[in-house]
């Protein structure tokens, strides 16, 4: 009976959380499609990201979140003062023993304008479909299934006004981003400084978020503001990577500050491909009043692997046994990053 009560309370918490807050990634810089569609095509001709997060495993089945995105610019326009890019995104979050699932398929379209020799301003839009479903409603327990002494599995739940376990809604979002880069040498001890800052909003239409036929609960809009940077000192193999992100959705808010130290083991060979660019970054993030997050990022040539672990010192640590979340990311990119001087489209502004 105690397990059933815990399951019921956890499921109710999932419904409250689904209205209040989207799932998030601690490695937010490696999950660009979840924070701003205006990041599409800004820093890379082509980029693909995979993200995995496992959270709150001590609460029954906890949360498991996957995300993937692919983005590409229209290369034939890259030498112009403005160009466009597109992206495709997938997101899947599974929660609890009931396998409460949120799935999103969407596309991004961004317009990028070069505002200076080293800077760009981009506007991005997102449109897609958001699906929510209950995967295993047989795992749920209801008040009418208790006979006063114990749980009776054969008793009817008494719940009659549900959709058939799932529903799908249209979903929209958009944002703006400012990008600065001294060059297209993203792993460089000489001129690899770059900055991104932007704001975005998701769920423009505030789609209905209820499994009840006559339910009118709405998905709250999510607002995001962020800034990330790589700060380089000439002729030094050490870079500093500060960052912050703030997200507000309904009455729920989240604020993360981060600082990493990156060491450049070696840079890309200028006239050959014999030596690939290689760098390792490690540091700490802090989610306000919630968690400290040790973080590791390994970058080699066109690839990057990120690892993070949320350690929970907040009041929830007793229930969660201080085990919050493990996160993994994988990135592949092509031009301009990682020491390759392929073209000069990222830093050229046509003259009048």
- Mapped onto helix, strand or coil, the DSSP state of residue 348 is coil
Residues 307/299, Cβ–Cβ less than 8 Å: no
Q: Do 146 and 153 contact (CB within 8 A), yes or no?
A: no
Q: Give the best-scoring range by mean pLDDT among 8-12, 85-89, 267-271.
A: 85-89
Give the pLDDT confidence of 183-197 residue by residue, as tens digits: 777 787 777 789 999
Rg of the Cα atoms in the chain: 23
Which residue, 144, 113, 179, 153, is CA-closest to 337? 179
Q: What is the Cα 231 distance to its own chain's centre? A: 23
Q: What are 19's two structure tokens?
A: 């209205």
* pLDDT surpassing 60 at residue 56: yes
CATH of 2-141+170-334, one of 3.40.50.2300, 1.10.287.610, 2.40.160.40, 3.40.50.300: 2.40.160.40
Q: What is the pLDDT of residues 195-228, one digit of tens each?
A: 999 999 999 988 877 776 677 778 899 999 999 9
The predicted pLDDT at position 78 comes to: 59
Q: List the structure tokens of 332.
A: 């592949």
> In the predicted model, is pLDDT for residue 350 greater than 50?
no
Q: How confident is the model at residue 289 (pLDDT cuts 50, 70, 90)?
A: confident
Asked if 173 and 199 count as a contact pair (C-beta separation under 8 A), the reply is: no
Cα 137 versus chain centre, distance:
28
pLDDT at 261: 97
Q: What is the pTM for the complete model shown?
A: 0.80
If 0-12 CB within 10 Å is exposed, 13-18 middle and 19+ buried, where does residue 187 land?
buried
Separation between Cα atoms, residue 130 and residue 102, nearest integer Å = 7
The domain ranges of the chain are 2-141+170-334
């Amino acid at each position: 009976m105690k397990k059933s009560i815990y399951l019921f309370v956890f499921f109710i918490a999932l419904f409250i959380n689904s209205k209040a807050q989207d799932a998030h990634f601690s490695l937010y810089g490696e999950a660009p499609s979840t924070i701003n569609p205006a990041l599409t095509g800004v820093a890379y001709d082509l980029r693909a990201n995979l993200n995995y997060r496992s959270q709150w495993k001590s609460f029954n089945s906890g949360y498991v979140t996957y995300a993937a995105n692919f983005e590409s610019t229209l290369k034939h326009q890259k030498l112009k003062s403005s160009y466009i890019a597109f992206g495709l995104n997938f997101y899947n979050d599974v929660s609890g023993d009931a396998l409460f699932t949120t799935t999103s398929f969407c596309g991004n379209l961004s317009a990028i304008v070069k505002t200076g020799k080293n800077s760009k301003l981009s506007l991005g839009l997102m449109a897609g479909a958001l699906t929510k479903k209950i995967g295993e409603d047989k795992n749920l327990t209801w008040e009418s299934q208790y006979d006063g002494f114990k749980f009776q599995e054969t008793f009817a739940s008494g719940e009659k006004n549900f959709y058939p376990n799932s529903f799908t809604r249209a979903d929209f979002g958009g944002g703006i981003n400012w990008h600065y880069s001294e060059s297209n040498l993203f792993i460089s001890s000489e001129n690899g400084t770059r900055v991104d800052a932007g704001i975005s909003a998701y769920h423009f239409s505030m789609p209905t978020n209820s499994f009840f036929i006559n339910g009118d609960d709405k998905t709250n809009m999510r607002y995001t503001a962020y800034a990330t940077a790589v700060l380089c000192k000439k002729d030094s193999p050490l870079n500093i990577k500060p960052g912050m992100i703030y997200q507000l959705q309904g009455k729920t808010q989240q604020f993360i500050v981060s600082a990493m130290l990156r060491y450049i083991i070696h840079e890309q060979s200028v006239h050959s491909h014999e030596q690939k660019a290689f760098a390792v970054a490690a540091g700490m993030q802090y989610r306000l009043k919630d968690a400290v997050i040790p973080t590791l990022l390994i970058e080699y040539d066109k690839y990057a692997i990120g690892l993070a672990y949320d350690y929970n010192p907040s009041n929830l640590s007793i229930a969660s046994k201080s085990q919050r979340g493990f996160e993994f990311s994988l990135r592949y990119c092509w031009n301009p990053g990682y020491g390759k001087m392929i073209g000069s489209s990222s830093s050229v502004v046509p003259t009048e």
